[in-house]
Amino acid sequence: MLRDLSASAVFTGLLVAFVGFASSFAVVLQGLTAVGASAAQAASGLMALSVAMGVAGIVLSLRARLPLSVAWSTPGAALLVTTGDVGGFDRAVGAFLLCGGLLFIAGLWRPLGRAAAAIPAPLANAMLAGILLGLCLAPFRAVVDMPALGVPILGAWVLGGMVHRLWAVPAALAAFVAVVATGVEMEPGALAALGENAVPTAMPTWPDITLAGTLSIAVPLFIVTMASQNIPGVAVMQSNGYPVTPGPWFGVTGFFSVLCAPFGGHAVNLAAITAAMCAGEDAHPDPAKRYWAAIVAGAGYVALGLASGAVTGFVALAPAVLVQAVAGLALIPAFAGAAVAAFDKPESRDAAAVTFLAAASGLSLFGISGAFWGLLAGGAVMGLRSGFRRGSG
């Protein structure tokens, strides 16, 4: 096995770990904080997710000898931002645990996996676009509210994307670090203290499973994770010519989601963009030896997770609008893709629009978030329109 290790796989794996972590950790922190996590609990959750997706990626890649990269659910973290507090972080953790269980069962029990895949794609994408909209507006709010700090972040994102789309968010993150370090007033010794608290403390939270948490977080989180992460991740492997056996893959990511949930992690899943990096020719000319890139990426995620205390501490020093700006920039490509897919077919546009608007509105009925009601309302509109057309025919 060690004979398959190459310099190109090591470089690609380290690049995957950096891009995967840097491009969306701000979204994760925003999501955990929105559902009631303290700064220490958010740091614990970020560490748990990083370690879980690193170890899961290593396990999958070693067993299957395939470049199976694992990531945290970035759209799921965005869902948490729009959902907000459901009555305490313990209830959110209960929803995380339930979602992980659903992901695990989807890998073992095919009917559940098929049911998740059977949700009409326009509605699933419309829900995702609605969830992402609020965060994607944040960079422009930052430009208005704090132009001296917001403009450099947005400009770096544009310039980085001109070099390569994968460098857009890391460039924005570098600008964020620079403007916070030079333009934000801090207490003396605040930056020096980050090194002392680099490794966060694992903080278990006893889960409380409630109906509101189930319908507001667990069910939508399961749907967006399957529809926007797991299924595209399988498609990436298929498009690169690798044998596809998604059931065990879903089961492993669900198992690790269950393990990290009590420590504040919302969900891990198959990666899509970073999986394409691991499965591409840059990792190794021989497809049979590219699995090492995913193994190295997994080790990188574990190392970054163990240093996430410093990351969380630095983010806590920044104005919230700047953190939201970086998170929003990371989600713009996902929002664009989801919006295009949601409104692509004329016959389902009205139903997709209902789902999108309800999910984006931030409404909450009976303690249940708009993402669930949007999917329900859009499904009703689609079902009624389809039934009327069949009756007319």
How far is 323 from 187, CA to CA, in rounded Å? 19
- Please report where in the chains the tokens 């909209």 appear, as a residue: 133
- pLDDT above 80 for 335: yes
Question: How many structural domains does the chain have?
Answer: 1
Give the structural domain span for 320: 2-392
Residue 70 contacts residue 270 (beta carbons within 8 Å):
yes
pLDDT at res. 364: 66
- pLDDT tens digits for 59-110? 999 998 999 999 999 889 988 988 888 889 999 999 999 999 999 998 888 7
Query: What are the distances in angstroms from CA 101 to CA 117, 142, 254?
Result: 17, 38, 6
Q: Give the per-residue pLDDT at 189.
A: 63
What is the three-class DSSP state of 70?
strand
Beta bridge mates, 270: 70
* Residue 80 confidence (pLDDT): 92
In the chain, what's the furthest Cα-to-Cα distance? Answer: 74
Q: What pLDDT, in 10s, does the model give residues 148-205?
A: 888 999 999 999 888 887 788 788 888 988 888 887 776 666 666 666 666 788 899 9
Helix axis angle for 168-183 and 308-317, nearest 10°, is: 60
Coil, strand or helix at 368: strand
Query: How do strand 268-270 and strand 70-72 relate by DSSP bridges?
Result: antiparallel
Beta strands in 252-375 (DSSP E): 268-270, 364-365, 368-369
